[in-house]
Amino acid sequence: MKIEGRNAVAEAVKSGKTVDRVLVRNGMRDDASRNLLSEIRAAGIKVHFVDRATIDKESPSGRSQGFIAYVAEYKYATVEEILASAKRSPLVVVLDGVEDPHNLGSVIRVCECAGADGLIISKHRSASVTEAVMRISEGGANHLKIARVGNINSALECLKKAGLWVYGLELGGEDIYSTDLTGPLAIVVGGEDTGVNRLTREKCDKIITVPMAGKVNSLNASVAAGVAVFEAVRQRR
């Protein structure tokens, strides 16, 4: 897997994950690039200097910022591993059918920045952790435990048995700002077009809603996840 961009490569190096080598474009002399290059070398990672044409050819997005790291394929965690490493009052996000890689990357970044204990995604009807998702998450996927499961509803049952409340983020529920989000909690965010599916809704202990004041009655999945997760963080302080 290729990870590109200064921030994403820097986070890959800091995470301690296996980085086989890093391509660096010749002539990267700004302070940020010099500092990153020093970190790469200090970690004992091989550096290959190449010209602009070569790095542009290797770049999946064309936005490498002069750095491309080659790492092993992403290794998912298990739900059990997320729970085992969770804080006393866990906060887990579950994505039900989020298929857009940009949304997945943004949700990963939100969860990592907020200090969530983990993210659960599905093997079916869902984006997976790819090079593009790594770039969009700004390397957040290197630090966040992400489980990829065959059945979301079975994963929710596992979370419930571990003592977590499961709240679905959907229209028509209880105002999120009036809901207690301080306990052990899993927040379920639905897909871009379908929302949380019916069977998954039935597994939820409660449906919560971000109130809308405008004429558009829904938020992008990653924005909605960000609002919910940081409201939970705010309440826990």
- In sequence order, the 6+-apart residues with CB closer than 8 A to the CB of 193 are none
Asked whether 129 and 146 are in contact (CB, 8 A), the reply is yes
Rounded CA gap, 25 and 5, in Å?
Answer: 12
Listed residues 38, 71, 104: the one ending a domain: 71
Confidence of residue 12 (pLDDT cuts 50, 70, 90): confident
Q: Is the pLDDT of residue 141 over 80?
A: yes
DSSP 8-state assignment for residue 187: E
Residue-by-residue DSSP string for 77-109? B-HHHHHHT--SS-EEEEEES---HHHHHHHHH
pLDDT for 117: 97
The two counts, helices (H) then strands (E), for the chain are 9, 10
Question: Is the backbone of residue 43 left (phi > 0), alpha (psi -120 to 50) or beta?
Answer: alpha
Q: In this structure, what are the phi and psi dihedrals at residue 129, rounded to the nearest 5 degrees?
A: -80, 105
The reply to whether 33 and 141 lie within a common domain is: no
Residue 15, SS3? helix
- In sequence order, the 6+-apart residues with CB closer than 8 A to the CB of 132 are 60, 61, 101, 102, 105
Percent of the chain at pLDDT > 70 equals 100
Q: Is the pLDDT of residue 209 over 90?
A: yes
Q: In the predicted model, what is the mean pLDDT of residues 89-98? A: 95
Listed residues 71, 101, 129: the one ending a domain: 71
Arithmetic mean of pLDDT over the chain: 92
The reply to whether 212 and 96 lie within a common domain is: yes
Residue 94 β-bridge partners: 120, 188
The reply to whether 87 and 170 lie within a common domain is: yes
The reply to whether 22 and 118 lie within a common domain is: no
Q: In the predicted model, what is the mean pLDDT of residues 201-207? A: 95
Domain assignment of residue 86, given as a range = 79-236
